[in-house]
Structure 1
C-alpha cells in the first residue's frame, strides 16, 4: 500500500532536562504544562496533536505537506507564543524558587519532516507510525549550534533542498547519518528570540 506524504512537526523545549533536574517539581510542572498548552494553541496550520512527549508536542498533517514558507511562519508563531508566555510569567510571578527564576533559560527548537505516514491504533487513539516518525525524532538530537532554530528536511523542502526557505530567510545545509536510516539532509535557520524579560 502506498501512503501519501504527510507533515510531521515537533516543537521541542530545549533545556527541559536540566530545568526539571534543578528545580522544584510542582512549579516546573506548572511551567512546562503552560508552555506546552501555549504551543498547541499557537497552531495556525490546522495540525493534529498525536502525542505530548514530555518536553515536546508531536503534530502531524495527514496527506498534505505545507510549503516551507508556511512551516517557517508556523515555527515563528510557536516561538512568539512560547516567549510571550515566559515574559508574562516572569512579569507576574513573585516566586523566587529555582523553577521560576530559571524559566527564561528555556528555548524552543522545531523539527519539520515529511514522508509516507502510516497509523496504528492504541487504546482507541490513532497514532502516526513508520520510518517518517523515527526520522523526525532522531533529528531532535543533532549537531546544530544553538538551541533556537527550525530544521526542515528534504522531505519538506524537496531534493536537493534549497537554502532559501522563504523570501528573506536563508538557512544553512546540514546532515545527520544513522546506521539504520542512512544520511538525512536538512536545512536549518535560527528562530528569532526576543530580549530576556530581565533585559
Structure 2
C-alpha cells in the first residue's frame, strides 16, 4: 500500500514522471493522494494523466485515471492480503472504459469497403460501434493489468529488503509517506505499530 502513495519512487524505479497536484485528503479509513504522472504510450507519445490513488484501509487501493481519448477511464484495484509475517499476496483488477473515438464512429469514413455492394445505408449502426468499443476496452484492460503487474514486479527487490521502522528517517519531500504511516496506525490495535506486543 505504501508504494501506491509513494509516487516519488516511480521516477527512479519505473521511469515515470510523477507530480503531486494537491495535498492528500484523509477521511477516516480513506486516504487520497492526488498526483499527475507523465508516461509514454506506444503510438501516443508522452501522456500526462491525473491519477488520484485511494487506499481504503490496508486491504484495498483504487487508482482512477482519465485517459487521453475522450470518455475513456482506467481503473486499477490493488488488493494485498497478508499471508504470514513479511509475506503478502497481491491481487489486481484493471478495467478501461473506452469512450467513442475522436470523430465519433470507430469505423473508417470509407465504410463500406470499396468493392462491396452496400451503399451508405449499409454502414453498420450501433452494434458495430458497440462491438468495437467492447473489444477495445477488453484489449486496453488486459494491457493495463499487465502493466500493473510489471510495475509491482519492478518493486519486488525493494520490497524484499524492506524493514519496519517505528520512526523512519524521511527526506524532505516525503511528507506523503509520513502522513501514510500516521494514517495507517488507526488499523493496528496498538498505536506503536504492527510489530508491537
TM-score calculated relative to the size of structure 1: 0.27
User: Higher Cα Rg: structure 1 or 2?
Assistant: 2
Question: Of the two structures, which has the highest relative contact order with CA contacts closer than 8 Å and spacing of 6 or more?
Answer: 1
